[in-house]
Homo-oligomer: A and B are copies of this chain.
Amino acid sequence: MSDELPALPWDRARRRTGPARIPLTRDRIIEAAYTVIDRVGYEKLSMRQVAAELNVAVSALYAHVSGKDELLELMYLRMFRDWELPAPDPENWQEQIRQYARTGRTKLHEHRDMARIAMTGFPFSAEALPHLEQLLAVFRAGGLPDHLAGAAGDMISTFMNGFAFEESVWDDRRQEAEEDGERPAVERSWAEIRQTLERYFRELPPDRFPNMVELADVMLQRTNDERFDLGIEIIIRGLASYAADHPRPSG
Contacts and interface: CB of A to CB of B under 8 A. Distances in A.
A211 interface: yes
Contact of A169 (B120, B136, B154): B120
A104 B155 CA distance: 18
Nearest to A172: B120
A129 interface: yes
Interface string A134-152: 0011001000001111111
A72 to B, nearest CB: 12
A77 interface: no
A162 B19 CA distance: 47
B146 A230 contact: no
A233 B227 contact: no
This chain: how many copies in the complex? 2
B218 A165 contact: no
A230 B151 contact: yes
A231 B149 contact: no
Contacts of A147: 218, 222
A237 B149 CA distance: 16
Contacts of A151: 219, 222, 227, 230-231, 234
A192 to B, nearest CB: 15
A251 B130 CA distance: 52
Main secondary structure of the interface of A (DSSP, over half): helix
A218 B146 contact: yes
Contacts of A130: 208-209
Interface in A202-251: 204, 208-212, 215, 218-220, 222, 227, 230-231, 233-239, 241-242
B149 A158 contact: no
B162 A215 contact: no
B165 A211 contact: no
Interface in A112-145: 119-120, 123-124, 129-130, 132-133, 136-137, 140
A96 interface: no
Interface of A: 119-120, 123-124, 129-130, 132-133, 136-137, 140, 146-152, 154-155, 158-159, 161-163, 165-166, 169, 197, 200, 204, 208-212, 215, 218-220, 222, 227, 230-231, 233-239, 241-242
Given A136-B211, A154-B227, 12 more contacts: A119-B119, A119-B165, A124-B197, A130-B208, A149-B211, A151-B219, A158-B231, A234-B235, A235-B235, A235-B238, A237-B241, A241-B241
